[in-house]
Amino acid sequence: MNSRTFQQLLDQKTKPIGSLGGLEELAVRVASVTNDTRPGTLSASLTIFAADHGIAEEGVSAFPQEVTGQMVSNFLAEGAAANAIAGELGIPVAVVDCGVKDVLVSREDLINMRLGAGTANSAQGPAMSQEVAAKAISQGQSYGRSLTSKIVCFGEMGIANTSSATLLANKLSGILIADLIGRGTGVDDAGLKHKKSVLERAAARTGRLAPIDALAEVGGFEIGTMAGAMIGACASNKVVVVDGFIATAASALARALAPGCEASMIYAHRSAEQGHTAMLEWLKAKPLLDLQMRLGEGTGALLAVPIIRASVSLFGMASFTDARVSGRSADK
Ligand SMILES: O=C(O)c1ccc[n+]([C@@H]2O[C@H](COP(=O)([O-])O)[C@@H](O)[C@H]2O)c1
Ligand SMILES: Cc1cc2nc[nH]c2cc1C
């Protein structure tokens, strides 16, 4: 069935046409991806991709690099915000090590997709080789295809990854660093000024770049792997829920590499990270929520899951004929 047919199904339900606004649009989009209108069948999962970023050594984050590995342990111990929200919603969480510098845990529930001990500093040279960039995409693709849930939420963890995401978005879109940059974990005014000068220097090393070259130049490992996972999930009829600023940069990379995959992507929220609005506008993406969140980890994506499920529940409504409810007097 195509989206027109799904909309026609909704138009027969006991409500004025279009009265559920964006929820109807969402229902039609989701049904077009999964080809399934049965309410209650949309299983969901969250994957958190983690990695370190060499550009952290330039002092572009409010937090030290070791926090990435420490938060990975926290995710596995179910102590982070993503765990709290996922627990409340009954959504399982998987954690993928794409290249954390100091791995503090060796546990079988930490998925190993390590591409190195953090990327190289992209203010000085390429973050990774072209081969590693291609591997990030391909390992992500296999992972995205292998997921069994219908709604896949993708989150990330990586100190300094707002810098990598800013550079990646700049290389892919040409939007100025000044319009993409934000405070990340919370740098102060002086920190933001410093971050801007570091990122402008890093961006000036190269011109506009093709997608894989952009990933190789600016990183990061978790962003590339997430982009691959988005491509793999979209290609296997799953609904991809995009989280905040960094995940949106990954989605831009996925869209550049696999045009058309945006049809399967739902943008969960507008992050408070300053440059997210510019990125969403460039991608013509309409986020569902705006709660001024800027944590990452997939927290925004998780919150979109009940809305997505509620949208599909509309296909279970009675039609005017089934419920013997009179249609519009104007149509009589
Ligand atoms: O998702 C977002 O919009 C978002 C915005 C700002 C920060 N973050 C998170 O904060 C970390 C990156 O911030 P920073 O300042 O170290 O670049 C990383 O772990 C992200 O998950 C996430
Ligand atoms: C504590 C902390 C938790 C995070 N979760 C995602 N990014 C983060 C950054 C910090 C610093």
pLDDT in tens, 168-191: 999 999 999 999 999 999 999 999
Q: Tell me which of 156, 217, 222, 297 is the catalytic residue.
A: 297
- Whole-number Å distance, alpha carbon 63 to ligand 2 midpoint, is 8
pLDDT at 108 (0 to 100): 87
- Whole-number Å distance, alpha carbon 268 to ligand 1 midpoint, is 16
Identify whether the C-beta of residue 247 lies closer than 8 Å to the C-beta of residue 301.
yes
Beta bridge partners of 280: none
Helix (H, G, I), strand (E, B) or coil at 34: helix
Whether 40 has a pLDDT exceeding 90, the answer reads no
Regarding the beta carbon of 279 and ligand 1, being less than 6 Å apart is answered: no
What angle is formed at CA 233 by the lines to CA 100 and CA 120, rounded to 5 degrees?
A: 25
Identify whether the C-beta of residue 180 lies closer than 8 Å to the C-beta of residue 166.
yes
Which listed ligand is nearest to 67 at the C-alpha?
Answer: 2
Nearest ligand 1 atom to alpha carbon 157: 19
Nearest ligand 1 atom to alpha carbon 71: 19
Which amino acid, one-letter code, is at 178?
Answer: A
Nearest ligand 2 atom to alpha carbon 156: 6
Q: Which residue's CA lies nearest to atom 3 of ligand 2?
A: 71
22 vs 75: CA distance, rounded Å: 33
pLDDT at 330 (0 to 100): 80
- Whole-number Å distance, alpha carbon 76 to ligand 2 midpoint, is 14
What angle is formed at CA 185 by the lines to CA 179 and CA 187, rounded to 5 degrees?
A: 70
Whether 313 has a pLDDT exceeding 70, the answer reads yes
pLDDT at 293 (0 to 100): 98
- Whole-number Å distance, alpha carbon 217 to ligand 1 midpoint, is 20
Between 40 and 203, name the one with better pLDDT.
203
Identify whether the C-beta of residue 199 lies closer than 8 Å to the C-beta of residue 166.
yes
According to CATH, the topology of domain 42-311 is Rossmann fold (3.40.50)
Which listed ligand is nearest to 251 at the C-alpha?
Answer: 1
Ligand 2 pocket at CB < 6 A: 63, 67, 71, 157, 185, 295-297
Whether 265 has a pLDDT exceeding 80, the answer reads yes
pLDDT at 332 (0 to 100): 67
pLDDT at 207 (0 to 100): 94
Average pLDDT over every residue of 76-89: 98
In this predicted model, what pLDDT tens digit does every residue of 94-130 receive, in sequence order? 999 999 998 777 788 999 999 999 999 999 999 999 9
| Pocket test residue of 49, 53, 61, 63 for ligand 2, highest count of atoms within 8 A of CB | 63
pLDDT at 106 (0 to 100): 74
Give ipTM to 2 decimals. Answer: 0.99
**Peptide bond before residue 220 is cis, with ω within 30 degrees of 0:** yes
pLDDT at 270 (0 to 100): 98
pLDDT at 316 (0 to 100): 97
Number of residues that make up the chain: 332
Identify whether the C-beta of residue 161 lies closer than 8 Å to the C-beta of residue 116.
no
Whether 77 has a pLDDT exceeding 80, the answer reads yes
Tokens matching residue 140: 């992500």
Nearest ligand 1 atom to alpha carbon 185: 15
| Full-model pTM | 0.98
Regarding the beta carbon of 160 and ligand 1, being less than 6 Å apart is answered: yes
Largest Cα–Cα separation, the chain = 72
> Could you give the residue ranges of the DSSP H alpha helices within 77-188?
81-89, 130-146, 161-173, 177-180
Average pLDDT over every residue of 194-209: 97
| Pocket test residue of 60, 74, 85, 185 for ligand 1, highest count of atoms within 8 A of CB | 185
Beta bridge partners of 99: 51
Q: What H or E segment, with its residue span, contains residue 225? A: helix 221-235
Domain boundaries, the chain: 3-39+315-323, 42-311
242 vs 117: CA distance, rounded Å: 26
25 vs 3: CA distance, rounded Å: 9
Whether 202 has a pLDDT exceeding 90, the answer reads yes
74 vs 322: CA distance, rounded Å: 51
Q: Is 131 a catalytic residue?
A: no
Helix (H, G, I), strand (E, B) or coil at 140: helix
- Whole-number Å distance, alpha carbon 237 to ligand 1 midpoint, is 29
Whether 331 has a pLDDT exceeding 80, the answer reads no
Nearest ligand 1 atom to alpha carbon 165: 17
Percent of the chain scored above 70 by pLDDT? 100
Regarding the beta carbon of 311 and ligand 1, being less than 6 Å apart is answered: no
66 contacts: CB under 8 Å, gap ≥ 6: 101, 102
Average pLDDT over every residue of 262-271: 98
